[in-house]
Structure 1
Amino acid sequence: MIGNVVGDRVREARVQKNMTLHELHQRIQEQSGIVLSQPTLTRIERRQRSVFDFEIIALVRALEVDARWLLGLIELDGTEVVDSQR
């Protein structure tokens, strides 16, 4: 199972910001009004759950990252990701 790239990026951004799952959950709820529970965020980070478009927007806001980066389209420095499978 390949899973989704978003999960890896969510964990990377969260850890980089020294944010717990509880803090991410709270930020998402406060900023976007969406409830993503800690178990749900864990499943996302473990690539066991897909992410809806409105959840991506909430994650981008809470983690203060570029949506293109979260989706695996660019690197942190803004360079385009080269997909070797194309």
Structure 2
Amino acid sequence: MNWWRTLFLVVALAALQYPLWMGKGNFNEVRLSKKRVEIQKQEVDKLERRNKAMSAEIQDLQQGQEAIAEIARDEIGYIAPGEHFYRIKNK
């Protein structure tokens, strides 16, 4: 008679543990969700840094011609009137 109680308790415990290990929202899903959240946070941080850099560049472009001239020099070799261009070649 006592072993029936033990068997019943073991089966009840297993039934209660099943959702924790195999059901929706189990330990593995929670761990994977936390990992996905961390990856998303890293991506958001990276995009925020990029947005701040772009905002600073936009502000520079709106405020003065120096930023525009600097970009033109870098990208298309712009030389302003009165400037001298020197090219230094390494051996």
Q: What is the TM-score when the length of structure 2 is the normalising length?
A: 0.21
Task: Name the structure, 1 or 2, with higher relative contact order (CA <8 Å, separation 6+).
Answer: 1
- Rg: which structure is higher? 2
